[in-house]
Amino acid sequence: MIKLVRGFKDILPADTALWQHVEGVVRELLEDFGFAELRIPVLEQTELFARSIGAGTDIVEKEMYTFTDRGGASLSLRPEATASVVRAYVEHRMYAKDPVCKLYTIGPMFRRERPQRGRYRQFHQINAEIFGLHDPRTDAELILLLMTFFGRLELGSVALHINSLGCPECRPRFKDALKLFLAGRPEEFCSDCLRRKDENPLRLFDCKVPDCKEAMQEAPSILDDLCEACSTHFDDVKRSLDRFQIPYQINNRLVRGLDYYTRTTFEVLGESLGAQDAVAGGGRYDGLVKALGGPNEPGVGFAVGVDRLMELLAGRAQDFEKRPHIFVAAIGETAQDMAFEWVQGLRLQGVRTEMDFENRSLKSQMRRADKLGASYVVIVGDRELDEGVAIFRDMATKEQEQVVLQEVVGTAVDRIRTSTVGGES
């Protein structure tokens, strides 16, 4: 038997209804917040990721699925979406029409990390990006959107961490302070950290090696080195969050180790997720559009890890499973033909309807209706046909009533519409 590739997974029908629910909630919310969907390819030139994520990052150095195309080009499966969204913003000159642009995209990402709970080689993200706005309320608006999304999903216990990374003006001071810190204790760091420390010491905050993490606990805080403009920006973001009573923790270890990232960074942690506890992350990247050949427009965005979100929602899949509203149990050829017409008529009116074509016994059809979780069963056999009626059985109350054959479809539609008013069933 040929099996799944390690780190990849199937999302089975028992779970897809919940995925669709989550996607439905977020699409509606994103559109209310003024975002439009952008669909980007899963494959890009490797160079795009090397330039945006950074050639010296774990993602680019070790985790990308990269291959040489038959034409000789180096291509990679996308490990994240921001680079592609920025590429599209620049390539299609979206900024020329309006520099302010709010885009979202949903889809799979690929990183060849070591698979473990909450970490897959194909995983899914919801990405939202805003271009063209410097105002700190924009950063807060994105966080607000994220927290509203999690609130609508009734996610339970999540913690928002925020930090500021400063800007090209104040960050060099902090980098110097970091280098000095490192110079005093090189033996505490792994070889990757030591190799990367000169080109960008901020990457050390991203290292997953436990000893490095431990050593970085004592590193200086970037918040002590912010310039006045960055400090004011950060205060304004916090003020907006306070205004909407969004609780947050300041985490001065929360860093994206690239020069394109500026000022606000944030992460949302799910308390029950274990080691891989970040369910979403984001921040401002005011230099990235320019670095990828576009105008000097700022950007800010986030990515939600949908697989981890699903883990936080575990056990809720049944609530969203689409069970049939009506199961038609027909016995005998004539009844089966008539039932087939009802089924088609009901489906055309948006009523989820099933029947059994195999002409099995009533008992076995009732068992199937029960197994599928149908709300009502319509029973029709020779006797009912003679009497010109069908039996309507409410599977929850077990009550039965007779309905004349011509009114079966209309009655079923009415029943389902009344029972679904105020919520999906």
> Minimal distance in Å, beta carbon 422 to ligand AMP?
33
Nearer to ligand AMP, 111 or 238 (CB): 111
Residue 145 binding ligand AMP, by CB under 6 A: no
* Total H helices, total E strands in the chain: 17, 16
Q: What angle do CA 378, 384, 390 make, to 5 degrees?
A: 30
Residue 355 binding ligand AMP, by CB under 6 A: no
Q: Cα–Cα distance between 112 and 60 in angstroms, integer?
A: 10
Residue 54 binding ligand AMP, by CB under 6 A: no
Specify the DSSP element, H or E, that contains 232: helix 228-243
Identify the residue among 57, 76, 84, 125 touching ligand AMP (CB under 6 A). 125
> Minimal distance in Å, beta carbon 59 to ligand AMP?
8
Q: Which residues on neighbouring strands pair with residue 10, listed in sequence order?
A: none
Q: 327 and 378 in contact (C-beta within 8 Å)?
A: yes
Residue 160 binding ligand AMP, by CB under 6 A: no
C-alpha distance from residue 3 to each of 120, 122, 316 (Å): 16, 15, 28
> Minimal distance in Å, beta carbon 412 to ligand AMP?
43
Q: Cα–Cα distance between 39 and 103 in angstroms, integer?
A: 10
Q: Cα–Cα distance between 279 and 93 in angstroms, integer?
A: 32
Nearer to ligand AMP, 262 or 375 (CB): 262
Nearer to ligand AMP, 299 or 305 (CB): 305
Identify the residue among 42, 278, 391, 405 touching ligand AMP (CB under 6 A). 278
Residue 308 binding ligand AMP, by CB under 6 A: yes
Rg, the chain, Cα only? 28
Residue 280 binding ligand AMP, by CB under 6 A: yes
Identify the residue among 120, 234, 327, 376 touching ligand AMP (CB under 6 A). 120
Q: Given the rule CB under 6 A, which of 28-36, 119-127, 286-294, 417-425 is the region that contacts ligand AMP?
A: 119-127
Q: Cα–Cα distance between 336 and 347 in angstroms, integer?
A: 16
Residue 303 binding ligand AMP, by CB under 6 A: yes
> Minimal distance in Å, beta carbon 280 to ligand AMP?
5
β-sheet with 74-77: strand ranges across: 43-45, 74-77, 66-68
Residue 281 binding ligand AMP, by CB under 6 A: yes
Residue 150 binding ligand AMP, by CB under 6 A: no
Q: Cα–Cα distance between 379 and 123 in angstroms, integer?
A: 45
Q: 186 and 194 in contact (C-beta within 8 Å)?
A: yes
> Minimal distance in Å, beta carbon 54 to ligand AMP?
13
> Minimal distance in Å, beta carbon 124 to ligand AMP?
8
> Minimal distance in Å, beta carbon 29 to ligand AMP?
18
Identify the residue among 22, 279, 328, 409 touching ligand AMP (CB under 6 A). 279
Q: Cα–Cα distance between 91 and 77 in angstroms, integer?
A: 19
Residue 307 binding ligand AMP, by CB under 6 A: yes
Residues 94-113 that bind ligand AMP (CB under 6 A): 111, 113
Residue 58 binding ligand AMP, by CB under 6 A: no
Identify the residue among 305, 329, 384, 412 touching ligand AMP (CB under 6 A). 305
| Angle separating helix axes 408-420 and 333-348, nearest 10 degrees | 40
State the virtual CA torsion across 217, 218, 220, 221 in degrees, nearest 10.
Answer: 40
* Binding residues for ligand AMP (CB under 6 A): 80, 111, 113, 118-120, 123, 125, 278-281, 303, 305, 307-308
